């Protein structure tokens, strides 16, 4: 097993321990609110048996489904969904067993405690995720280039996450701009969307940015040219996200961000022509080359002219 797949031993124990504690706290809260801890010995026994059974089932099903073994990132949507599934299974099995042996079991105990337990489990993961993200977020280095990101979609979120998790990020994101009116109040990992694309240069100046990152993987050539011209006039570095065809699995990596070049306007890869292979065909001949402004014909035209 590679190092990247190794689960730190304290994490399964921490997660399982918190989930077990959540069942205890949920049962205690239910007893406090519903009965003010004034229960008969028989009801106390039911609560204790129900809670212990739930803990055993939670840990058993959790490990069986790999919930505690790194199946999903802590606090992610996938993990929360699996957590809800596990708690639902635990509640159903525990209720079935309880009612099979004792039909006088409190319906409130069977219905409310699992919900409270799930909320506590989710809260613990949210707190862990928030603390971990804050601890990882770099304060920035002098070498990091301050930047405004144009595009608060998937690519923009990925770039912000990569910058936050990088030990030595090449950029320090100050703000976002996006043309979607529905995103005017959006925050991307704590950074606000402060305007639309037509205010890009103004936003960059207000925040003291030195670069603009275009986080749109399917940007039209007209938009690329417009933003490139604006950045050139304003003296800003213009950085683009590669098109989807150049990404691996649709994921953006910091190393893939690059300075804008004219080839980005093509919407495809540039064509490399082997001039030596065609030299014999055109040597000493009068040749008409059409479309010489593009990459396909431009290079041969320059080679023929130079020859």
CB-based burial, 174-195: b 16+ in 10 Å, e otherwise: bbbbbeeeebeeeebeebebbb
The per-residue DSSP string of 240-292 comes to: EPPPGGGSBTTB--GGG-EE--GGGGSSSPPPP--HHHHHHHHTTS----SST
Residue 84 has pLDDT above 70, yes or no: yes
Residue 247 has pLDDT above 60, yes or no: no
pLDDT single digits (tens) 120-156: 999 999 998 878 766 655 555 567 899 999 999 988 9
- pLDDT at residue 121, rounded to an integer: 96
Residue 270 has pLDDT above 60, yes or no: no
The closest of 181, 58, 63 to 121, measured between CA atoms, is 58
Label residue 296 by pLDDT band (50, 70, 90).
very low
Share of the chain above pLDDT 70, in %: 71
- pLDDT at residue 133, rounded to an integer: 67
Question: What is the total residue count of the chain?
Answer: 307
Task: Kindly give the pairing relationship between strand 191-195 and strand 237-240.
Answer: unpaired
Average pLDDT, the chain: 80
Name residues whose C-beta falls within 8 Å of residue 224's C-beta, 6 or more positions apart in sequence.
214, 240, 260, 264, 265
pLDDT single digits (tens) 91-125: 999 998 888 877 666 777 888 999 999 999 999 99
- pLDDT at residue 155, rounded to an integer: 87
Label residue 245 by pLDDT band (50, 70, 90).
very low
Instruction: Give Cα 204 distance to the centre of its chain.
Output: 24
Query: What is the C-alpha to C-alpha distance for residues 201 and 203, in angstroms, rounded to an integer?
Result: 5
pLDDT single digits (tens) 70-81: 888 888 889 999
């Amino acid at each position: 097993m590679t190092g990247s797949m190794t689960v730190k031993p304290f994490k399964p124990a921490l997660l399982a321990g918190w989930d077990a504690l959540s069942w205890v706290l949920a049962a205690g809260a239910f007893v406090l609110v519903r009965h003010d801890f004034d229960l008969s010995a028989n009801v106390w026994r039911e609560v204790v048996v129900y809670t212990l059974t739930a803990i055993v089932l939670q840990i058993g099903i959790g490990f069986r489904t790999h919930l505690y073994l790194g199946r999903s990132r802590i606090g992610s949507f996938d993990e929360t969904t699996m957590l809800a599934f596990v708690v639902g299974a635990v509640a159903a099995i525990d209720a079935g067993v309880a009612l099979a042996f004792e039909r006088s079991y409190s319906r409130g105990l069977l219905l409310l405690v699992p919900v409270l337990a799930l909320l506590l489990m989710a809260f613990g993961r949210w707190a862990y995720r928030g603390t971990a993200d804050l601890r990882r977020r770099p304060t920035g280095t002098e070498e990091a280039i301050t930047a405004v990101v144009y595009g608060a979609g998937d690519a923009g979120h990925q770039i912000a996450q990569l910058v936050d998790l990088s030990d030595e990020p090449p950029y320090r994101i100050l703000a976002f701009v996006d043309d979607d009116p529905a995103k005017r109040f959006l925050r991307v990992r704590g950074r606000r969307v402060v305007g639309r694309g037509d205010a890009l240069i103004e936003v960059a100046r207000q925040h003291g940015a030195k670069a603009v990152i275009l986080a749109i993987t399917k940007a039209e050539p007209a938009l690329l040219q417009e933003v490139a011209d604006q950045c050139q006039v304003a003296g800003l570095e213009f950085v683009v996200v590669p098109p989807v065809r150049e990404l691996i699995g649709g994921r953006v990596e910091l190393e893939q961000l690059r300075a804008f070049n004219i080839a980005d306007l093509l919407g495809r890869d540039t064509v490399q022509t082997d001039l030596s292979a065609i030299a014999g065909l055109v040597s000493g001949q009068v040749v008409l080359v059409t479309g010489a402004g593009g990459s396909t014909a431009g290079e041969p035209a320059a080679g023929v002219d130079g020859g």
